[in-house]
Chain A
Amino acid sequence: MAIQNLFGQSLKAVNVGLESFTESLRDQGVEAIHVDWRPPLEGYVEITHTKSGVDIDAANAEAVTRIRSGRPLLVGMGVARDVIPGYGERLILHAGPPVTWERMCGPTRGAVMGAAVYEGWASTYEEAAEMAAAGAFDFAPCHHFHTVGPMAGIVSPSMPVFIVQNETFGNRTYGTQNEGLGRVLRYGAYGDEVLAHLKWMETTLYPALKAVLRATGPIDLRSLLAQALHMGDEGHNRNRAATSLLIRQLAPALIETATKKVAVEVLKFIDSNDHFFLNLSMAAIKAMLEPAEGIEGCTLVTVMARNGTEFGIRVASMPEQWFTAPAPVVQGLWLPGYTADDANPDIGDSSITETGGLGGFAMAAAPAIVRFVGGSSALALQVTQEMYQITAGEHESFTVPALNFRGTPLGIDVRKVMATGILPFINTGIAHKKPGVGMVGAGLVRAPRQCFEEAFKQIAKGAL
């Protein structure tokens, strides 16, 4: 089509740059759209194929297909040392990328100390700390053991875990039972109250739920999440609907299999804990993402996780590597009595939900939560829509009514993050930096650019 074919056509203009140009065009009656542009990140170059000739877009499309088609089911429960493959006897799992005792933040240390006493490895918390410093425990990221944990994310051998199986591919993931808010282990609390609660969860809650699951059979977590998204949840910071749907599904079998006393305790506990479903949504999304790991040439992010000191990501084509940066401090709304000075840096494996297309990526389904950053409900839509610009595809089962049931953005492409300068949003709770105080607020945070710049450098090495 020769240049002169443009003469006589209506101009339809895209403007990148000075806003006055868009205004001038509109003043002249021209259909014009303004691009809210920002520069690419440092080091970006266009990459389409690996050195070995793999088409990256095709690899990413394959990954999206695998993730979308995953069907995570809650198939049962067990004790960590028994059911998590390769679980060592003095192994303590934590959220986020690898970290040593010396570099652990307050909440994580508190949780480790609490776990050590809970396990009976130490008789006092001071002793636990000394043992940790002396290297008596093995630490590893939950992610290295197909496990995910919110906040400090501490898992120790005696803790009961949910077993989630991706029916489509057969892979399994694990997560502990969510303790509730306030002075709990995952916020770094320890002490008699905390341990008593953990014991209750081990000796009362776990056996009850295990029996329920035997009676009900596998629970379709994907289906629950899909319904919850239509009820104002987003699977990370807002889990009230999903928790409610879960109780509804479990209650009859609970009444049948447990004593009245235990049933009442269990139901009261789940009812008091709006985030009970969180640990299940995390394990479910982890199970959906795992089959994408190892796809050659795939530039999609399969893990985003924080340990309170560092933020780390993993990329599908390099499943063993972590790309880390200092964990950011979240700007958010503070609970009464707290300010930004009290906040711990970003912490928890719960950003696996954003990695898999929920949480902040599904914010358009949970407009009320957007008040954390002082915006209107239009902001919730904008956040999700911004994320479409850095993802390779969309979910099929997780849809947003307000966007005409469009699937949520799925598959963060490192190349697109670099090209657009748009960093993934995460919708998260904020912990107090001192162990054991608990949640001090919640907010929206962006994943650090350094992780993506480092990951991209590696991708580029394999491509150029």
Chain B
Amino acid sequence: MIQTTIKSGEYYDSVTLLQVAQGLLKVHGVEDAAVVMGTPANKGILKDAGLLTPEAEAASADDLIIAARIAGKAKVDAAARAGELLKASRTSKAESGTEPPPKTLSAAVQQLAGANIALVSVAGRYAAGVARDALNQGMHVFLFSDNVSVEDEIALKTTGREKELLVMGPDAGTAILNGVALGFANAVIPGPVGVVAASGTGLQAVTSQLTRMGVGITQAIGTGGRDLSEAVGGIMMLEGLKALQADPATEVLLLVSKPPAPTVAEKVLKQLKASDKPAVVCFLGGKAKVIREAGGIPARTLEEAAHLAAALARGKSPDEALKSLRSQRRELKKLAKKLVGRLRMRQNYFRGLFSGGTFCYESQLILNKILDKGKIVSNAPVKKKKKYKMADANQSVGHTAVDLGEDEFTVGRLHPMLDPTLRNRRILHEAKDPETAIIFLDIVLGYGVHPDPAGAAVEAIREAQAWLKKERREVLFIASVCGTEGDPQNVLAQEATLREAGVIVLESNAAATRLAGYILG
């Protein structure tokens, strides 16, 4: 059955009419439809489609013909539906022709006058090209992408040095420039400490802790994890250091990294002498003596680095910071004695589930000194020692520290700082192991990461606790939260969430690790 409706005195563009016809075709029961002006040519089209009724034939070129073939007994008012669609085609909402997002870096630079920094987080194989483009346009670069070749990294950083532009990365998760958090970074207060870090979480840890102690930073320059390798030679660590040495607002320098290649460490330490500014150097697991000889102040942990820098910023002596940390350790030992009673005989082991690689590293260093039940294994062992590499990253054996941000966990998945699923599953898995004494977590806050990491972890913790209760067993949950009150997640709220769930919360990864070590050692 063909429904024909003629609308007189209405003009629509032929293109609009085609779209309305398509809309009619979507209506259940409409087998074919045409919405056309009554010109001879269009009538020919209707005839060919078998839709030309006498009514349509009689229409004039200024009439709108709505013709629809309806299936059997279907109840369709084609004219009404067409009317709705025609009305909708006259969009009342004025969609302004605002410029669409640019598709290239150069188009973007044209649209944003004075653009001075490019953030690059595209897939590794393309990232170097985009970064090079940005440098050529005179912009500093924050290169978040990993899987960039070492040759490209060297070329980019060499170009950056020549052009006096920052190349932060590749694999730089974090930086704070002029108070602005880049990548995964925290809301920190301004102050006199200038940071250069080859570790993302390391940068987050020291800057957050400084802010919590009321001491602010000028800049926190991230160099990317490979900067201090032999091949790259510490180019950005050196350039960053020089820039902060020359920066009038920076009074105290703070360098954070895993131990650099020896030749690179030498270069960096030599550069310290170029200025009078006190420099705290945290080469996690590195030799303190060499640093002292170069005139730097060695820090063995990220917490110590933050405390030392804070003391110096306040015009106090570093010894005061060390003293306060020693007293903290005494308190932790007291607390450990109280907690040990909650564990049963078989519960002997530390299970660290880390989202931050540097925290995993730091915890291993600390525990290796405290525990006497054998060294800790990890999927990312300190100094890459094969002896301490886990056979299966999914199966903890003895004392274990798992870096959930490592490749084996993140291929095709989001990083654990964004997606808590894998860690939550592992929390449950570890809780069910009768040998687990402590489940240890790092909670990392800031821009760009999960909106409620503590809440997410607590879900799994409560589930584990319910299960453990049935087994009449308890596991000690120990955690630290890396972040500030200014972060979207607010560190105080996150700590409260954890404590409400019975988690023992310490102010730093190092302190929390020490506690764990004192309990089990």
For the complex, give the distance between the alpha carbons of A6 and B180 in Å: 12
Does A145 count as interface, using CB distance less than 8 angstroms?
no
Assess the A21–B112 pair: CB atoms within 8 A.
no
Q: How far is the CB of A181 from chain B (nearest CB, A)?
A: 6
Q: How far is the CB of A321 from chain B (nearest CB, A)?
A: 27
Minimal Cβ-Cβ distance residue in B for A15: B119
Does A459 count as interface, using CB distance less than 8 angstroms?
no
Minimal Cβ-Cβ distance residue in B for A24: B447
Does A1 count as interface, using CB distance less than 8 angstroms?
yes
Assess the A34–B101 pair: CB atoms within 8 A.
yes
Assess the A37–B122 pair: CB atoms within 8 A.
yes
For the complex, give the distance between the alpha carbons of A306 and B46 in Å: 30
Residues of A within 8 Å of B104, CB to CB, are 35, 37, 389, 419-420
Residues of B within 8 Å of A28, CB to CB, are 180-181, 447
Assess the A382–B165 pair: CB atoms within 8 A.
no
For the complex, give the distance between the alpha carbons of A413 and B246 in Å: 45
User: Which one, B116, B126, B218, contacts A40 given CB within 8 A?
Assistant: B126
Q: How far is the CB of A32 from chain B (nearest CB, A)?
A: 8
Given contacts A7-B249, A33-B111, contact A12 B103 (CB under 8 A): no
Assess the B45–A335 pair: CB atoms within 8 A.
yes
Does A13 count as interface, using CB distance less than 8 angstroms?
yes
For the complex, give the distance between the alpha carbons of A342 and B51 in Å: 19
Assess the B45–A336 pair: CB atoms within 8 A.
yes
Assess the B95–A376 pair: CB atoms within 8 A.
yes
Residues of A within 8 Å of B164, CB to CB, are 1-3
User: Which one, B100, B144, B182, B242, contacts A386 given CB within 8 A?
Assistant: B100
Does A62 count as interface, using CB distance less than 8 angstroms?
no
Assess the B49–A337 pair: CB atoms within 8 A.
yes
User: Which one, A11, A35, A403, contacts B102 given CB within 8 A?
Assistant: A35
Q: How far is the CB of A57 from chain B (nearest CB, A)?
A: 13
Assess the A336–B105 pair: CB atoms within 8 A.
no
Assess the A336–B49 pair: CB atoms within 8 A.
yes
Which A152-185 residues have a C-beta within 8 angstroms of B?
181-182
Q: How far is the CB of B251 from chain A (nearest CB, A)?
A: 14
Given contacts A2-B243, A6-B177, A33-B102, contact A17 B120 (CB under 8 A): yes
Assess the A12–B112 pair: CB atoms within 8 A.
yes
For the complex, give the distance between the alpha carbons of A37 and B119 in Å: 12
Residues of B within 8 Å of A334, CB to CB, are 18, 22
Q: Which among A79-87, A248-256, A367-375 touches the partner chain? A: A367-375
Assess the B102–A13 pair: CB atoms within 8 A.
no
Per-residue contact bits, chain A 313-347, to B (CB 8 Å; 1 contact, 0 not): 00000000000000000000111110000000000
Per-residue contact bits, chain B 105-119, to A (CB 8 Å; 1 contact, 0 not): 111110111111111
Q: How far is the CB of A436 from chain B (nearest CB, A)?
A: 12
User: Which one, A9, A18, A38, A368, contacts B13 given CB within 8 A?
Assistant: A368
Assess the B15–A368 pair: CB atoms within 8 A.
yes
User: Which one, A14, A25, A181, A442, contacts B108 given CB within 8 A?
Assistant: A14
Which B33-81 residues have a C-beta within 8 angstroms of A?
33-34, 36, 40-41, 44-46, 48-49, 51
Assess the B122–A335 pair: CB atoms within 8 A.
no
Does B178 count as interface, using CB distance less than 8 angstroms?
yes
Assess the B177–A11 pair: CB atoms within 8 A.
yes
Residues of B within 8 Å of A364, CB to CB, are 97
Minimal Cβ-Cβ distance residue in A for B18: A333
Assess the B246–A4 pair: CB atoms within 8 A.
yes
Minimal Cβ-Cβ distance residue in A for B242: A3
Residues of A within 8 Å of B116, CB to CB, are 6, 9, 11-13
Does A20 count as interface, using CB distance less than 8 angstroms?
yes
Assess the A3–B166 pair: CB atoms within 8 A.
yes
Q: How far is the CB of B9 from chain A (nearest CB, A)?
A: 20
For the complex, give the distance between the alpha carbons of A459 and B15 in Å: 40
For the complex, give the distance between the alpha carbons of A334 and B19 in Å: 9
Does B5 count as interface, using CB distance less than 8 angstroms?
no
Interface size class of A (residues with CB under 8 A): 35 or more
For the complex, give the distance between the alpha carbons of A2 and B244 in Å: 11
Given contacts A18-B144, A35-B104, contact A372 B178 (CB under 8 A): no
Residues of A within 8 Å of B166, CB to CB, are 3, 6
For the complex, give the distance between the alpha carbons of A18 and B130 in Å: 14
Minimal Cβ-Cβ distance residue in A for B36: A336
Assess the B144–A12 pair: CB atoms within 8 A.
no
Does A8 count as interface, using CB distance less than 8 angstroms?
yes
Given contacts A8-B178, A28-B180, A35-B103, contact A181 B121 (CB under 8 A): no
Assess the B118–A13 pair: CB atoms within 8 A.
yes
Does A412 count as interface, using CB distance less than 8 angstroms?
no
Residues of B within 8 Å of A335, CB to CB, are 18, 45
Assess the A381–B97 pair: CB atoms within 8 A.
yes
Residues of B within 8 Å of A20, CB to CB, are 448
Residues of B within 8 Å of A245, CB to CB, are none
User: Which one, B18, B101, B117, contacts A372 given CB within 8 A?
Assistant: B18
Does A102 count as interface, using CB distance less than 8 angstroms?
no
Residues of A within 8 Å of B41, CB to CB, are 181-182, 272
Given contacts A18-B121, A27-B447, A33-B112, contact A389 B15 (CB under 8 A): no
Given contacts A7-B219, A336-B21, contact A40 B129 (CB under 8 A): yes
Given contacts A12-B112, A33-B115, A378-B95, contact A337 B48 (CB under 8 A): yes
For the complex, give the distance between the alpha carbons of A3 and B102 in Å: 27
Does B298 count as interface, using CB distance less than 8 angstroms?
no
Which B122-155 residues have a C-beta within 8 angstroms of A?
122-123, 126, 129-130, 134, 139-140, 144-145
Given contacts A13-B115, A335-B18, A337-B49, contact A21 B121 (CB under 8 A): yes
Minimal Cβ-Cβ distance residue in A for B44: A182
Does B239 count as interface, using CB distance less than 8 angstroms?
yes
Minimal Cβ-Cβ distance residue in A for B187: A28
User: Which one, B103, B115, B140, contacts A38 given CB within 8 A?
Assistant: B103
Q: How far is the CB of B160 from chain A (nearest CB, A)?
A: 9
Does B497 count as interface, using CB distance less than 8 angstroms?
no
Assess the B134–A14 pair: CB atoms within 8 A.
yes
Residues of A within 8 Å of B49, CB to CB, are 336-337
Assess the B115–A14 pair: CB atoms within 8 A.
yes
Given contacts A6-B177, A10-B178, contact A371 B13 (CB under 8 A): yes
Residues of A within 8 Å of B115, CB to CB, are 12-14, 33
User: Which one, A3, A381, A403, contacts B165 given CB within 8 A?
Assistant: A3
For the complex, give the distance between the alpha carbons of A230 and B15 in Å: 19
Does A31 count as interface, using CB distance less than 8 angstroms?
yes
Assess the A11–B180 pair: CB atoms within 8 A.
yes
Q: How far is the CB of B43 from chain A (nearest CB, A)?
A: 12
Which B214-248 residues have a C-beta within 8 angstroms of A?
218-219, 239-240, 242-244, 246-247
Does A140 count as interface, using CB distance less than 8 angstroms?
no
Does B99 count as interface, using CB distance less than 8 angstroms?
yes
Minimal Cβ-Cβ distance residue in A for B183: A21
Does B327 count as interface, using CB distance less than 8 angstroms?
no
Residues of A within 8 Å of B97, CB to CB, are 364, 377-378, 381, 402-403
Does B406 count as interface, using CB distance less than 8 angstroms?
no
Residues of A within 8 Å of B452, CB to CB, are none
User: Which one, A3, A34, A368, contacts B16 given CB within 8 A?
Assistant: A368
Given contacts A14-B112, A14-B119, contact A6 B140 (CB under 8 A): yes
Which A345-393 residues have a C-beta within 8 angstroms of B?
364, 368-372, 374, 376-378, 381-382, 385-386, 388-389
Assess the A39–B100 pair: CB atoms within 8 A.
no
Residues of B within 8 Å of A182, CB to CB, are 41, 44
Does B324 count as interface, using CB distance less than 8 angstroms?
no
A-B contact list, 16 entries, CB within 8 Å: A8-B249, A11-B180, A13-B117, A13-B118, A16-B105, A16-B108, A16-B122, A18-B144, A35-B107, A36-B101, A39-B123, A336-B46, A337-B32, A337-B45, A385-B99, A386-B103
Q: Would you list the 8 A-B pairs with minimal beta carbon distance, nearest first? A: A17-B121, A336-B34, A337-B49, A3-B243, A36-B101, A24-B447, A4-B243, A382-B100
| Known A24-B448, A39-B126; 5 more pairs at CB < 8 Å | A11-B178, A12-B112, A14-B108, A337-B45, A371-B16
Residues of A within 8 A of B (CB): 1-4, 6-18, 20-21, 24-25, 27-28, 30-31, 33-40, 181-182, 272, 333-337, 364, 368-372, 374, 376-378, 381-382, 385-386, 388-389, 402-403, 419-420, 422, 441-442
